[in-house]
Structure 1
């Protein structure tokens, strides 16, 4: 009886966590649709966290394109989904003419690291069970 209760409680907590993740994603997508010029990207890799910001590789969710980025005054972690504005320009640190620069007020929202990955994983698990 105790084991059944523990399993039921764990399943219920996982369901609540998944529901909260979906709501977070829906909120971010709605904010993206309501914000002209803003786009969603996932922080693919952080290659330097510095005192004044973060150098990272982002993947644009709409196109799948990867791009180096500089987040001034922000430190998003790998796996974070961000809603941002910014400009592309010359990156003197890596001599790359295609770095996306994000000022502190241009990081409009951020979904916790790993949330999107967890949702995709859960979706794939559900699809496997449905077969």
Structure 2
């Protein structure tokens, strides 16, 4: 019957080895994903955050805000979203032309009040810290 020898102990040992190997790989992937979400690479994002705060504090043209909610996404046009501004905590309806920021992400933007006198219209997104 060819070279196959039926050895239950050998088959069980190989099966155990592969299950442990797969389990270890899954654990490693989950660990790395959790670490990166918790700020495992916080050195660079922390530095970007501090730089954003410094720039926005020193120059009033730059505004730092967190995307609290997305009202509407218009494909190939942009995003209408609620942004909560850093420092004041004031939420404001905001229009991002051809930009689609993530909910929860921090944006460094320039722009001004639109013709409706309530919406902040973004001229340029300078950085997104997710």
Shorter-chain TM band: 0.5 to 0.7
Aligned-residue offset at 1:16: 5.5
- Structure 2, gaps ≥5 residues long: 1-19
For residues 55-78 of structure 1, give each alpha carbon's deviation from its aligned partner in whole angstroms, at most 9, with x where no partner exists.
Answer: 001001211100000001211121
Task: Give me the TM-score of the superposition, normalised by structure 1.
Answer: 0.64
Aligned-residue offset at 1:11: 8.8
Structure 2 partner of 1:58: 83
Taking only aligned residues, the RMSD between alpha carbons, in angstroms, comes to 2.8
Taking structure 1 as reference, are residues 49 and 42 closer, same or farther at Cα in structure 2, changes over 3 Å only? Answer: same
Structure 1 partner of 2:70: 46
1:26 pairs with one of 22, 40, 47: 47
Matched-pair contact (CA < 8 Å) for 2:48–2:129: no
Structure 1 partner of 2:110: 85
2:119 pairs with one of 74, 94, 99: 99
Query: Number of matched residues?
Result: 105
Taking structure 1 as reference, are residues 74 and 16 closer, same or farther at Cα in structure 2, changes over 3 Å only? Answer: closer
Aligned-residue offset at 1:89: 2.5
Task: Give me the TM-score of the superposition, normalised by structure 2.
Answer: 0.64
- Structure 1, gaps ≥5 residues long: 92-96, 113-131
**Based on CA coordinates, which of the two structures has the bigger radius of gyration?**
2
Matched-pair contact (CA < 8 Å) for 1:57–1:69: yes
Judge which range, 72-81 or 15-24, deviates more. 15-24
